[in-house]
């Protein structure tokens, strides 16, 4: 049975030699082999204006179709920067202060979802097809697809938290959006807690009947399951052990010259807790003068959604706090906070993971957080400080778990990480590594697709 993947982005990008090549990223890596084997299509918005509306890929020996849904600037502003980034993203992450419930966003979101659905229907000729939609950009497409292809098997994976029902219902269009999703046969989220929230939303807001993990609503049945995503474990392992990465890591340690290195790596997003992390590091320095000169905190923040006001505001605030900390504490050759606002290659990121004694991964909310898994895979003996408000925390009890809003607790956890004895460090890391090995992204894709097939039978 062929597969059609529908996602905000397409899985290819223009490479240096001008040819279209697979883009880097867990989702692409997990799903391209399946598409190559089974045939089908990948449908996405495709931001590159040079991307043809429809092409067979790879050009030399095609296995599947890449289909672009071209969007006008107004559509992009309403559907992506508006509804996705200013409405669904903040509400799902419990960040109501960033929520902008503009009805124009929803109007455009409806029509763009319909356009995605039309493209799917054009690509999917027969009914014995699996269609897999990705994420919060596409909540309404399933209902249109279902109408035109009643017998297709429809799955949806939600990559961010599904919030508590009482939070989800803040959305003025909560019921309409949920109804759209209930045309799927399978909805996947990262952890059981999000499954419970989804079921509760359907029960309370739509009066749907819930039977175990299955929702019965208006004659259709939707199963909701936890499928925690993983990373490309083997590739990360090899990258981490490569000469390029170990060389870079050694040079980084030499350049910083401190006994300890603590890292943070995130898209610069208000959900990732960068600001409160910096403030906790400041508290750590205030409380522990004996560490002055011997710890460097290296924060990489990748530019993200830079057109959205709240992201620009966050950038200014981070700049300010970094300046304040360094202004107060730096001395001689020691700079306490090394802050980089730019993107890196995966090899470079891997070198940071490898060089670090501890990683501070402290989102205020996160669906999963795969940086955690990348760090665990790459490090040889690093300690992990992890926010308990991430999906990853449910799966990784061996991490030092913290509440990211607890500045004193976070500051204390930094000290604990640096002073942890070798034996405890090793035992915790073994537990973490063994979980991450099992969370491989290929396994995630197979697990979801196998379950989807069962729902379709
Ligand atoms: C969503 C959910 C869920 C970051 N900077 C650079 C770079 N990255 C890579 C990291 C990692 C990825 O981006 C970020 O993954 P996260 O999981 O932290 O977060 P989101 O982007 O918010 O993703 C999240 C995920 O979907 C999967 O379901 O875990 O909860 O929010 O892989 O390494 N990569 C490169 N250069 C950078 O500068 N190459």
What's the CA gap between 280 and 406, in Å, rounded? 8
Q: What is the pLDDT of residue 360?
A: 98
Q: Which is the closest atom of ligand 1 to the Cα of 345?
A: 39
pLDDT of residue 433: 98
Q: Which two tokens stand for residue 208?
A: 């749907």
pLDDT in tens, 23-59: 877 788 889 888 888 899 999 997 788 889 999 999 8
Nearest to 6 by CA among 186, 170, 182, 131: 131
Domains of the chain: 3-230+441-456 (3.40.50.2000), 233-438 (3.40.50.2000)
Supply angle C-alpha 323, 329, 330, rounded to 5. 80
Residue of 367, 376, 436 to mutate, ligand 1, most atoms within 8 A of C-beta: 367
d(CA 185, CA 169): 23
Residue 273 CB–ligand 1 contact under 6 Å: no
Comparing CA positions, the residue from 422, 292, 433 lying closest to residue 353 is 433
Q: Is 159 in the pocket of ligand 1 (CB under 6 A)?
A: yes
Is-contact 273 240, C-beta < 8 A? no
Asked if residue 370 has its Cβ within 6 Å of ligand 1, the reply is yes
Nearest residue CA, atom 10 of ligand 1?
371
Distance of CA 342 from the midpoint of ligand 1 (Å): 14
pLDDT < 70 regions, the chain: 127-128
What pLDDT is recorded for position 127? 66
* pLDDT value of residue 129: 86
Q: Give the per-residue pLDDT at 347.
A: 94
Determine the atom of ligand 1 nearest the C-alpha atom of 372. 18
- Confidence at residue 348, expressed as pLDDT on a 0 to 100 scale: 95
The phi and psi torsions of 20 (rounded to 5 degrees) equal -80, 130
């Amino acid at each position: 049975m062929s597969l059609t993947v529908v996602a905000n982005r397409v899985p290819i990008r223009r490479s240096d030699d001008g040819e279209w090549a697979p883009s880097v990223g867990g989702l692409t890596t997990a799903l391209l082999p399946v598409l190559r084997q089974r045939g089908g299509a990948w449908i996405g918005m495709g931001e590159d204006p040079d991307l043809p509306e429809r092409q067979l890929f790879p050009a030399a020996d095609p296995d599947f179709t890449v289909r672009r849904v071209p969007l006008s600037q107004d559509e992009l502003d309403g559907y992506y920067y508006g509804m996705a980034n200013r409405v669904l993203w903040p509400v799902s992450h419990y960040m109501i202060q960033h929520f902008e419930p503009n009805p124009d966003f929803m109007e455009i979101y409806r029509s763009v979802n319909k356009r995605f659905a039309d493209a799917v229907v054009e690509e999917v000729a027969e009914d014995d097809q699996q269609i897999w939609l990705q994420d919060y950009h596409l909540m309404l497409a399933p209902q249109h697809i279902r109408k035109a292809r009643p017998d297709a098997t429809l799955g949806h994976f939600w990559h961010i938290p599904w919030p508590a029902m009482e939070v989800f219902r803040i959305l003025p269009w909560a019921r309409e959006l949920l109804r759209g999703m209930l045309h799927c046969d399978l909805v996947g989220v990262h952890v059981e807690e999000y499954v419970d929230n989804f079921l509760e939303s359907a029960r309370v807001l739509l009066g749907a009947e819930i039977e175990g993990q299955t929702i019965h609503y208006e004659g259709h049945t939707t199963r909701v399951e936890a499928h925690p995503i993983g990373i490309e474990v083997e590739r990360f392992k090899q990258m981490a052990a490569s000469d390029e990465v170990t060389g870079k890591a050694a040079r980084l340690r030499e350049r910083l010259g401190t006994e300890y290195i603590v890292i943070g790596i995130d898209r610069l997003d208000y959900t990732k807790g960068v600001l409160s992390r910096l403030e906790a590091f400041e508290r750590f320095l205030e409380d522990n003068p004996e560490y002055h000169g011997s710890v460097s905190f290296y924060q990489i923040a990748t530019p993200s959604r830079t057109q959205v006001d709240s992201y620009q505001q966050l950038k200014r605030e981070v700049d300010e706090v970094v300046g304040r900390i360094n202004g107060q504490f730096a001395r001689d050759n020691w700079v306490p906070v090394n802050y980089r606002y730019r993107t890196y290659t995966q090899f470079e990121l891997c070198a940071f993971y490898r060089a670090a004694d501890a990683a501070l991964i402290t989102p205020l909310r996160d669906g999963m957080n795969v940086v955690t898994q990348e760090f665990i895979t790459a490090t040889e003996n690093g300690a992990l400080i992890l926010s308990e408000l991430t999906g990853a925390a449910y799966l990784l009890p061996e991490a030092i778990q913290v509440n990211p809003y607890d500045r004193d607790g976070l500051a204390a956890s930094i000290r604990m990480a640096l002073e942890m004895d070798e034996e405890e460090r090793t035992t915790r890391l073994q537990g973490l590594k063994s979980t991450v090995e099992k969370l491989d992204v290929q396994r995630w894709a197979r697990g979801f697709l196998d379950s989807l097939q069962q729902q379709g039978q």
